[in-house]
Structure 1
Amino acid sequence: MSERRQVLLRLDPAVHDALMRWADDEFRSLNGQVDLLLRRALTEAGRMPRNVGPPPRRGRPPARDTTDS
């Protein structure tokens, strides 16, 4: 897997606050929300590269079933 790149992004404070609220509503980080929106925009514009991987999974892993079968 290739290394993820860091980008400095300057935003209007009102845009930042709106993105932060949206991310919170969907239980994502601000970075995750921006990544999702950029991927969606690239796909809709027909500009998503074919070799791009899925977004990285973040957060807790799924709970394991501990019941005895």
Structure 2
Amino acid sequence: MTKKKSFPLRIDPELYEVLQKWAADDFRSINSHIEYLLRESAKKAKRFPKQKEE
């Protein structure tokens, strides 16, 4: 299992509400939804390392 890095995040309350509803619409926790959005953004920007095939 991959160990995840934990850190505090300060976020605008209005944005938090938007993300909370969006996460619920996709049946995710807000934490996993934020991670999903960041991962997709990093992939789109070609900043995410390519995964090695095993």
Structure number having the greater helix percentage: 2
CA RMSD in angstroms comes to 1.2
Instruction: Give ranges in structure 1 of 5+ residues lacking alignment.
Output: 52-69
Identity %: 37
- Count of aligned residue pairs for this structure pair: 51
Which residue of 2 is the match for residue 54 of structure 1? none
Deviation at 1:2, TM superposition (A): 4.0
Report the TM-score when normalising by structure 2: 0.85
Report the TM-score when normalising by structure 1: 0.68
Deviating 4+ runs (over 4 angstroms): none
